[in-house]
Each structure stands twice: as C-alpha cells, then as structure tokens.
Structure 1
Amino acid sequence: MNLKNKTILITGGASGIGLEAAKQFLALGANVIITGRNQEKLDAAKKAHPQIVAIQSDVANATDAESLFRQVTALGGIDILYNNAGVGVPPINLGVANDKHLKGAVYEMEVNYFGVIRLNNLFLEMLKSRKESALINTTSILSTLPSLLEATYSASKVALAFYTRSLREHLRIINSHVKIFELLPPVVDTDMVADRDGKKISPETLVKGLIRGLEKDQYAIRIGDAKVLYQINRIFPKLAFKLVNPKKSDDILRL
C-alpha cells in the first residue's frame, strides 16, 4: 500500500503510539488527522506539528463519533482509518468478588471494541469510495494468549481480533477493495504501562514495523515479541502461556 498523499485518521493520536504514527506518516508525505479526548494533548501535538489536523472526540461516545465523521467529511474525507485508541484498567484478581470487574470490563470493551465498530460503521462507505483505502485495527499480543493479570483487556482484544478477521473476509466476499490490517503489538513503552518493569519496545520501533507491514500489504502485522509468541504458541502452547503469565501465585493474589 502506498501511503504518500493518503489522508489518515488516527484515533488516540495525541500521544504515545498515535502521535508517533502521525509523525512517521507525515514524513512519508501523508495528510494526518488525529483525534482524542484530551484537548491539551491535542493542542500540544498541533503546536509541535502544525500540518496535523486535530479534532477532539471520544470513540466511546456515539455523539462524538458522528460529529467526528461530519467534520472529517467536510475536510474531504479519509483514505485510511487507524483505530489506535485503547484503554486498560489496572490488573484485577478475578478470583475475588468485587464491583470493579464489570465496570472495568465495560470501559475496556466500550473503547477497545465497540468504539472501533462504531467508527468503522461510520467511515466504511467513505473508504469504499476511495481508489485505495484501508482500516487498521490495533489488537495485541494478548489476543494470541490471555494475561491472568489483564483478563478483561485480553478479552476485549480477542473480540476485536475476531471482528477484524471476519470483516476482512466479508469485504473479500463482496469484492470490496478496502484493505483490513491488524496490528499486533507487544508491550510498548507508553503511559499505559509506565509503572511496569520488563521488556518494552518504543513507539518509534512499533510504528516503523507497522509501516513496513502496510507497504507490503501484510494484513496481520506482528511486531517483536508478538511475532515470537505467535510462533511458540503454534507448537508449544503451554510454554507460551507461561511466558505471558506470572510464575508464582503470589503475583496474582497480591492484587
């Protein structure tokens, strides 16, 4: 896929992976629109990169999504929708009954899953009308194997992964040319995991891998440990599960 001169909408684009993607897409000659909930972060991104168009919007809010669609349409539309926005609640011990489980799961599903479907439904006909267009959905290394510490987050990403693969096949059946990409990151060094130790890759490395995959029309783009874990899981699923999850029960019981 050729990214030059494409207009790309990035959700969660004011910081972290989204902002890094905006920078790298701009460097390739693309036009970039970013959206997010935090106006201060959007303003800072716009100040640092004046070429960016910044629109405040919450993907979990239907009214915001419809307003975003109208504003993007007025700007001339897009060629690529990059569903990057995502949230994760602090780890919860599912073995202990409390009122946080459902609340956290609803929040994660509303942003990570329903928010993607909401925007895809709004923008799909626009993308179909373009000569070359795409959707990019960000799932996770945890859509391959669940994390005991992030069970509901893992579930939201599995839901998105299955939806993404099904949508790709539906569009193939109806002879649509819209390309459906799935980005599967490992742990990325962003604010979401700032308090964690362990191996992390930089947003810059992740986005470089994403762009390589887009340019090669690689529809499942696994980066770093996500690629390694996928291969291990195919042959040694028990080992893969152990690599993702705590070695001691105390790591879970302390939550």
Structure 2
Amino acid sequence: MKLRDKTILITGGSAGIGLEAAKQFLEAGAKVIITGRNQVKLEEAKKRFPSLITIKSDAGNQEDAVLLLKQVKTLGGIDILYNNAGVLSPASNFGVTGDAHYENALNEMNINYLGVIHLNNLFMEMLQSRAESAIINTTSILSYVPLNTEATYSASKVALRFYTEALRAHLQILNSRVKVFELLPPLVATEMTADMDGKKITPENVIKALIAGLRKDRYTIRVGDTKLVYILSRISPRLMSGLMNPKKLNALLK
C-alpha cells in the first residue's frame, strides 16, 4: 500500500504511539489528521508538527464520532482510518472485582472495542469511495495471552482482534478496496504503561514496523515479542500464560 499523498486519520494521536505514527506518516508524505480528548496535548502536537490537523474528539463518544465524520468531510475525506485510541485501567486502582472494576471495564470496552466499530461503520462509505484505502486496528500482545491483572483490557483486545479478522474476511468476500490491517504491539513505553514493569519497546520501533507492514500489504503485523508469544501460545497455552503471569504479578490480585 502506498502512503504518499494519502490522508490518514489517527485517533488518540496526541501522544504515545499515535503521535509517533503522525510523525512518521508525515515523513512518508501523507496528510495527517489526529484526534484526542485533551486540547492542550493537541495544541502541543500541533506546535511540534505544524502541518498536522488536530480535532478534539473522544473515540468512545458516539456524538463526537458523528461530528468527527462531518468535520473530516469538510477537509476532503480520508484514505486511511487508524484506530489507535485506547485506555488501560491499572489493576492496582480497583482490583478485578467490584463496582469500580465494572465501571472501568465499561470504559475500556467502549473505547477499545465498541468505539472502533462505530467509527469504522461511520467512515466505511467514505473509505469505499477511495481508489485505495485502509482501516488499521491496534490490538495487543494480550489478545493472545491475557494478563491476569488486566483482565478486561485483555478481553477488549481479544474482541477487537476477532472483529478485525472477521471484518477483513467480510470485505474481501465483497471485493472491497478497503484493506484491513491489524497492529499487535507488545508492551510499549508510553505514558499509559509508565507504572508497568517489564521489557518495553519504543513507539518509534512500533510505527516503523507498522509502516513496513502497510507497504508490503502484510495484514497482520506482529511487533517485537508478540511474534514469539503468538507461536508459544499456540504450542503451549499453559506455559505461555505462566510466563506472562508470574507469581509476583498474580500477588496483586490478592
């Protein structure tokens, strides 16, 4: 897939993986629109990359999504929708049971999964009208092996992975020109994971792998340790679960 002269919309693009993606897509010759909930962060991103178009929008809010579509239409539309926005609620804040856990689970599922479906549905007609277009969904290494302390986040990414595979197959049956890519990063060094221990990959390397995969039309893009976890989880799910959830990590659940 060619990126030069494409228009790309990145949700959750004001920081972390999303902002790095904006940077590298601009360098590849694309026009980039980013969204985010924090106006200050959007303004900071604009200062760093003046050619960015920024729109304040909550990926989990249906009214915001409809308004976003209208705004993007006035800008001439997009060729690529990159569903990058996501939330993770630290288990240490609420455990894995109780009312607080349920409320956080609702938020994770709404933004990480249902919000993606809603945006894809809204933008599908626009994407179908383009000569070459794509949807990119960011799932996770945890869609293969869940982290016990992040049960609902893991579940939201499993749901998104299955949906992504089904959406791709459905569009291929219809001979659609919309390509569906899945990015599966391991633990990434971002603000969202600052309190998490473990080996982390940089957003820069994640996006380098994403762009390389897009250019080669590699629809499933496993980055870093995700490749090994994918293989081992198929060979020995129990072993892989134990490696992902050591005793000191499971102690947080008590």
Fold conserved between structures, TM > 0.5:
yes
Equivalent pairs counted in the alignment come to 252
1:89 aligns with 2:92: no
RMSD over equivalenced CA pairs, Å: 1.2
**Structure 2 residue aligned with 1:154:** 154
Amino acid paired to 1:134 = A
Q: Check 1:175–1:238 CA distance in 2 against 1; reply closer, same or farther (3 A cut).
A: same
Report the secondary structure of 1:135's partner residue.
Answer: strand
**Structure 1 residue aligned with 2:6:** 6
Q: How does 1:28-107 map to 2 (within 5 A)?
A: 28-91=28-91, 92-94=94-96, 97-107=97-107
**Structure 2 residue aligned with 1:27:** 27
- Cα deviation, 1:120-146, whole Å, max 9, x if unaligned, reads 011011001100000000000011111
What 5-or-longer segments of structure 1 have no aligned partner? none
Structure 1 position 90, deviation (Å): 1.3
Aligned equivalents of 1:235, 1:65: Cα separation in 2: 41
1:221 aligns with 2:218: no
Amino acid paired to 2:212 = R
Q: How does 1:58-207 map to 2 (within 5 A)?
A: 58-91=58-91, 92-94=94-96, 97-207=97-207
Aligned equivalents of 1:29, 1:88: Cα separation in 2: 32
Aligned equivalents of 1:173, 1:253: Cα separation in 2: 44
Aligned equivalents of 1:7, 1:99: Cα separation in 2: 42
Q: Check 1:75–1:250 CA distance in 2 against 1; reply closer, same or farther (3 A cut).
A: closer
Structure 1 position 250, deviation (Å): 5.7
Amino acid paired to 2:173 = I
**Structure 2 residue aligned with 1:246:** 246
Aligned equivalents of 1:123, 1:217: Cα separation in 2: 21
| Conserved? CA contact 1:246–1:252, under 8 Å | no
Amino acid paired to 1:103 = E
- Cα deviation, 1:27-60, whole Å, max 9, x if unaligned, reads 0100000001000000010111110000000011
| Conserved? CA contact 2:148–2:250, under 8 Å | no
Structure 1 position 247, deviation (Å): 2.4
| Conserved? CA contact 1:139–1:184, under 8 Å | yes
Q: Check 1:148–1:75 CA distance in 2 against 1; reply closer, same or farther (3 A cut).
A: same
| Conserved? CA contact 2:210–2:221, under 8 Å | yes
Structure 1 position 237, deviation (Å): 1.6
Aligned equivalents of 2:249, 2:200: Cα separation in 1: 24
Aligned equivalents of 1:33, 1:171: Cα separation in 2: 25
